[in-house]
Amino acid sequence: MDRLTKLIFSFYREDKQIQSRLAPLLRSRLSRSWGSVRIDCLNAEHLEEVSLLSGYISAPLAGIDFCRKIIVRAPDVAERTFLVHALFKKDSLIG
């Protein structure tokens, strides 16, 4: 399991139900590049499974302001992009 996958799974470490939903990520390759996280899937069906998890994937990444978008791709399939929204604005911490 690579570091990005570990990050996501550890975010949900106390929720085994969500961890089981995230199982398709274990068959993916995750990488970071230019403010985005790329998820390479095996095929179109696998891409669909991973795309449905975008909310679960983006939450831990947004929590640490890790990236701006998630790109899910597979061979011979149009890639999908999901924006990652910060959980809070840094400026809101200043009173």
Q: What is the pLDDT of residues 35-94, one digit of tens each?
A: 999 999 999 999 999 999 999 999 999 988 899 999 999 999 999 999 998 765 554 445
Structure-token match 């069906």, residue found: 45
19 band by pLDDT with thresholds 50, 70 and 90: very high
Residue 22: its pLDDT value, please?
Answer: 98
The CA distance from 82 to 68, in Å, is 9
Token representation of residue 66? 């890790």
Q: What 3-state class would DSSP assign to 1?
A: coil
Give the model's pLDDT for residue 87: 63
Q: Residue 92's pLDDT is what?
A: 47
Task: Using only the alpha carbons of the chain, give its radius of gyration.
Answer: 14
